[in-house]
């Protein structure tokens, strides 16, 4: 399907979703959010898509936030609806059973930082800049930034970043756990592809169960999270995937999970 503000390219099972409004630093207007929602929904049900990478078009930005022009005219009720809709779209990304990697190539501010945080992994170019500058606009984050940032970097650091609205460079982002790796800008695609290749060599059911256990388990009391883990462990044990993985180990050969 062709989109107005989103480029899609499936390269050997890795679907690249590129937010494509470079003249507006890839700001997320309604149209772009609707397209992201549609593309993620399509990717979830498409067997030719094994993993997803999200990035931004152009040299400068991943996504510089929600579209401030659209935000400006919202009333209270509309703004709440706007936030709930964005949260639902990002939750859909987070709940994908296939791995989703943010390839953060530049500014990831406001909704851009929130989009990156909804992805399972974040890999950043050394040029990337993160932040939740909404307070500077007299706003708070609306796409779950106040919830995901403290879960990733801890309450104290998250509050400092949220209350100051300051920029966080790529190296700091890596140090505080906001991203898992950084690289030279020219190496970003390659780096993302390498991580995805490593993940895709593993059992696909086990990978999706890890995503599910972490996503749901973190919001549960510890014992309930452990019960969820044990249940998924049991489901995995009944799958041909575990039979292949354990047999391959004992036979001293590489497993092939995608027969």
Where does this chain bind ligand COA (CB under 6 A)? 24-25, 27, 64-69, 107, 109-111, 133-134, 137
H-state helical runs in the chain: 30-44, 68-72, 76-94, 111-118, 145-153, 155-164, 170-175, 188-200, 204-217, 222-237, 240-250
| Closer CB to ligand COA, 135 or 226, in the complex | 135
Say how far apart CA 162 and CA 154 lie, in whole Å.
Answer: 12
Minimum distance of ligand COA from residue 114's CB (angstroms): 9
Q: Which is nearer to ligand COA, 122 or 191 (CB)?
A: 122
Residue 93 to residue 111: CA distance in whole angstroms: 14
We find the least distance from the C-beta atom of residue 54 to ligand COA, in angstroms, to be 17
Residue closer to ligand COA by CB (options 24, 92) is 24
State how far the Cα of 121 lies from the Cα of 55, in Å rounded to an integer.
12
CA dist list (Å): 109 to 48, 123, 187, 223: 31, 15, 22, 36
Q: Starting at the earlier edge strand, list the strands of the sheet with 100-104.
A: 6-11, 14-19, 51-56, 100-104, 121-125, 181-183
**Least spacing, CB of residue 57 vs ligand COA, in Å:** 12
Distance CA 42, CA 58 (A): 25
The smaller minimum CB distance to ligand COA, of residues 33 and 207, is found at: 33
What residues are labeled active site? 114, 134
Contact 86, 107 (CB under 8 A): no
Task: Identify the CA nearest to 24 among candidates 106, 88, 126, 87.
Answer: 106
DSSP class of residue 186? G
Residue 31: both structure tokens together: 């149209």
Q: Which is nearer to ligand COA, 8 or 132 (CB)?
A: 132
- Minimum distance of ligand COA from residue 154's CB (angstroms): 22
Q: Shortest distance, CB of residue 197 to ligand COA, whole angstroms?
A: 32
């Amino acid at each position: 399907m062709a989109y107005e503000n989103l480029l899609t390219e499936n390269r050997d099972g890795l679907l690249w979703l590129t937010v494509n409004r470079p003249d507006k630093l890839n700001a997320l207007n309604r149209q772009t959010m609707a397209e992201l929602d549609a593309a993620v929904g399509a990717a979830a049900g498409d067997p030719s898509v094994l993993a997803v990478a999200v990035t931004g078009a152009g040299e400068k930005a991943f996504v510089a936030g929600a579209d401030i022009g659209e935000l400006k005219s919202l009333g209270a009720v509309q703004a709440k609806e706007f936030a709930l809709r964005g949260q639902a779209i990002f939750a859909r990304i987070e709940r994908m059973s296939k791995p989703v990697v943010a390839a953060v190539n530049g500014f990831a501010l406001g909704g851009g930082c929130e989009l990156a945080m909804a992805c399972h992994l974040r890999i950043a170019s050394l040029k990337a800049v993160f932040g939740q500058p909404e307070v500077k606009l007299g706003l708070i984050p609306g796409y779950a930034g106040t919830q995901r940032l403290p879960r990733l970097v801890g309450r104290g650091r998250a509050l400092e970043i949220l209350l100051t609205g300051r920029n966080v460079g790529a190296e700091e982002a890596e140090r505080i756990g906001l991203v898992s790796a950084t690289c030279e800008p020219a190496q970003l695609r390659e780096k993302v592809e390498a991580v995805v290749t490593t993940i895709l060599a593993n059992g696909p059911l086990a990978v999706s169960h890890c995503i599910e256990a972490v996503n749901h388990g973190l919001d549960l009391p510890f014992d309930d999270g452990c019960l969820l883990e044990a249940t998924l462990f049991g489901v995995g044990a009944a799958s041909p995937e575990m039979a292949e993985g354990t047999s391959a180990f004992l036979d001293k050969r590489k497993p092939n999970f995608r027969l």
